[in-house]
Chains A and B, each alone.
Chain A
């Protein structure tokens, strides 16, 4: 005899009209369809674009680093450098922050490509976060082998979203991106697509996987379904292919789409039908409490139905492409800009205001050579690569230490990495440039003002490092102090060959997890900790909390 109906009904009675009603309703029906319409009708823009870009294993932070003019970037030692008193990071107590509009610093070559002609993205849209450590993204040893090398490799994968992710359940950058995507889509009524899933990493083994163990997916704002499957691989693809990926078979509520799905068009009518069923049920319940909550349910469904009848959130000013770009090849810059233009158009048309993009080079797998591959660049030059230098550069096992290679091998490795970096940055520059050039019909500013492109990688000074990493942000978002160079004092003694011994033991360096938390909080998510909370290698929790306070506006 565990309960008393009278007490139960009394309890429900107290709650009737409030929480009790939600027991019947739930909020899982058509929210993605309705929210954009409601927001649009209210004159608000819930949309914040978010683009994830990452060039796995090919972005060398030390080559991207800002240094005082005149300093040798390769030999620059932060420990001995105190930039200026006023620039000290107040919360961190070390490092420095510089406004990039007048930095007095020497822009590194790859990033400079974004702000220089022909892309001309204003410096205020560039943010560099330098000197981050990675302590929360730990790997449980028994899940991923026992050798230091495999730990190093898996650390790298976890950070950048490599194939290790599925087996670990540990947050990684793509995982964070996924959470942001989903949050924006579900909570703010945005649409999202996850695009470009091929990791390009050990492709022979992992090509079929994406980070999340499921097909590329997207929300369709027409009905909130997750039925679309697009991929956008910004490798060296033809614009026509990208047009196909972005626009093909997409449907538009305004009826101007190349193809309209009658099911999605009609689905809101199911709300109407279900309302009528609820009205019928009302005649069958005998308790006032049920009558009350059914009436509330019906009222909510009526509101939901009315919301479905609001105009679609597609901007009237949106200029959707009606046909793919001409398949003829233009200059390399024109090709790049075509890519950027299509992404900008997709954003402007609310097709994919949130997207993940992965840069991928053909034949860029670890075990494959870039033999005779030709990098092209926006200035019209090109350079040929004789072979992949990944192992020379990125693995600090005994076969890959600097002293094991000739100067020629080492210099060639660095040259190739510079080519990667420059190439990736030019892609980012093209996208950012077009986003900046395109007016956001919902906010009145440029699309880049509501978009954040994040470029990251896991090579620091050459090896798969867990310390001294860099994030390059292009764009803006409310809540973040952008347009600056943050150099955190990540003097991290940890090296690849002693990860197992030490990786849980170093704090309090500014952590990539804290960057993620900062980012996610800025996007409105409730999160204060990243990383596994149960594993306590050597008695220490491996997760991290806190934010990078200087980044928060």
Chain B
């Protein structure tokens, strides 16, 4: 497993989870040096690479505008961009290859390249969309005649969202030259094909000298909050210099957050953060209903001005499909579903074919909510059958016997297990239960964290976690990773600090976290 040190590794929170005292076997590899520690010379930039770095990049650079490498649109962003450019056309779906999610998010700029498969799929898509646009051109533009003027107008119209500039700022001579002298249909097709292979469509890049500098910030903002290219208003703001300050960005972001497009994107973020829709999986109808319910809940918390604590503790009810509603109606008492993590999607996602997996639940929470990395378990750990301890032993006792009896495993599992056992009152489908199926004895969901704090069940555990600054800092990092298309990096400690402080000051309001990020100079200066 790839990992470098979370920069706050040594900064123990109230949970003191790093007291895990990871054994080497459980750790996977040694942690790299923390902040302030001289880096391992073997990990230093290779000789000659300094030319890649702008001056002054050594050390921390919170407020500097850091140029990023070219950032390819993710497939999600690309599909959304095409939909914005060709409204009214039923575009071919699922044609682009799906993107890797090395850090959980599908917009990671480091992994978004163009390999052969992607190039092929884009090539095919460009031909198909060009053909579709030519066949249904009246769906796109109102032309009195199918002539060169119509083609020119069409090019300008679709280029604006595709290339994320106002048409007047787009030099499209090459594209227009392609169309010149061609029959109408051929002209449309060639133009569209070229636009869809244009690098300004495929990549997000900074602005050129003499160009309105706000265009880059507009793209970063709209892809962050909508997953789409900027709309006309945002482009106009960019051109007029109204995306140049923190207050400008905050104002623009508030407008975008009020738009329905933000709802879809926020759900997209929450699904990625919680890994609710792993790539390559095809959930059942009931599974999909559970995922949608959790996404809706998270969105509800966000839209209602909720906080991180609400995300983890609120028992608000949102609309759910019958299968999920029926599941919750069988709860023995109301208000049992507190926050995202006692809802069906998380509980199902962390269950296996043969039942719940407290270990999976513990690991998930440590990784996604606390940004902990646990290393790779020893080979074959998953395949080892649980020890038989007699018919009276609970499954929890079996797991403890297996995972905490050896030094090799106990370092991690003494942290993982109590957190996972806290959710033992929920079965593999998320159904509430009070009896251990194996032994018939009451479920024991209590536990104690390495920091010494005790809890009786998942609700008390979530209360502890929700109050931890480690949790709010983790969400800060997660949302920053999504906003920036990667990171934060080791050198970004002060950047995270600043945004996290604003988040805390807002009493952990989710909306404020978004606004803190977009109004930070690092977000809108030198953006791509």
Contacts and interface: CB of A to CB of B under 8 A. Distances in A.
Interface string A141-167: 000000000000000000000000000
Contacts of B206: 284-286
A290 B70 contact: yes
A22 interface: yes
A1 B2 CA distance: 11
A3 B481 CA distance: 11
B127 interface: yes
B52 A3 contact: no
A5 B205 CA distance: 17
Contacts of A289: 52, 69
Given A273-B178, A274-B198, A277-B199, A13 B48 contact: yes
A269 B119 contact: no
Contact of A9 (B52, B174, B183, B185): B52
B459 interface: no
B53 A273 contact: no
B477 A1 contact: yes
Q: Interface range on chain B: under 10, 10 to 19, 20 to 34, or 35 or more?
A: 35 or more
B171 interface: yes
Interface in B95-133: 103, 110, 113-123, 127
Given A6-B491, A28-B116, A286 B67 contact: yes
Contacts of A263: 185-186, 189-190
B203 A281 contact: yes
Q: Interface range on chain A: under 10, 10 to 19, 20 to 34, or 35 or more?
A: 35 or more
A299 interface: no
A43 interface: no
Nearest to A263: B186
Nearest to B117: A28
A1 B113 contact: no
A277 B116 contact: no
A338 B488 CA distance: 70
A290 B113 CA distance: 12
Nearest to B3: A2
A333 interface: no
B194 A28 contact: no
Contacts of A288: 51-52
B70 A285 contact: yes
Interface in B199-225: 199-200, 203, 205-209, 211
A408 interface: no
A280 B46 contact: no
B63 to A, nearest CB: 16
A6 B490 CA distance: 10
A3 B194 contact: no
Given A6-B491, A262-B186, A280-B171, A269 B113 contact: no
Nearest to B2: A2
Interface string B34-64: 0000000001111011011110010000000
A274 B197 contact: yes
Interface string B80-108: 00000000000000000000000100000
A25 interface: yes
B49 A10 contact: yes
A23 B199 contact: no
Contacts of B450: none
Given A9-B45, A26-B120, A3 B186 contact: no
Interface string B476-513: 01000000001111111100100000000000000000
A281 B199 contact: yes
Interface string B153-195: 0000000000000000001001101100011011001100110
B45 A273 contact: no
Given A12-B69, A281-B199, A284-B205, A5 B190 contact: no
A287 B186 CA distance: 38
Contacts of B488: 1
A25 B475 CA distance: 35
B49 A9 contact: yes
Contacts of B207: 284
A3 B119 contact: no
A2 B485 CA distance: 12
Interface stretch (B4-12, B268-276, B296-304, B380-388): B4-12
A293 B380 CA distance: 42
Contacts of A267: 190, 193
Of A30, A273, A274, A297, most B-chain CB atoms within 10 Å: A273
A391 to B, nearest CB: 41
A274 B46 contact: no
Contacts of A266: 178, 182, 186, 190
29 contacts: A1-B7, A3-B4, A3-B489, A5-B489, A5-B491, A6-B57, A9-B45, A10-B45, A13-B49, A14-B46, A23-B115, A25-B114, A28-B118, A29-B197, A262-B182, A263-B189, A263-B190, A270-B193, A273-B175, A273-B198, A274-B199, A276-B174, A277-B198, A284-B205, A285-B70, A285-B205, A287-B54, A287-B67, A288-B51
Interface of B: 2-7, 43-46, 48-49, 51-54, 57, 66-70, 103, 110, 113-123, 127, 171, 174-175, 177-178, 182-183, 185-186, 189-190, 193-194, 197-200, 203, 205-209, 211, 477, 486-493, 496, 526
Interface of A: 1-14, 22-30, 225, 262-263, 266-267, 269-270, 272-274, 276-278, 280-281, 283-290, 294, 297
The 5 closest A-B pairs by CB, nearest first: A26-B119, A23-B113, A28-B119, A28-B120, A10-B45
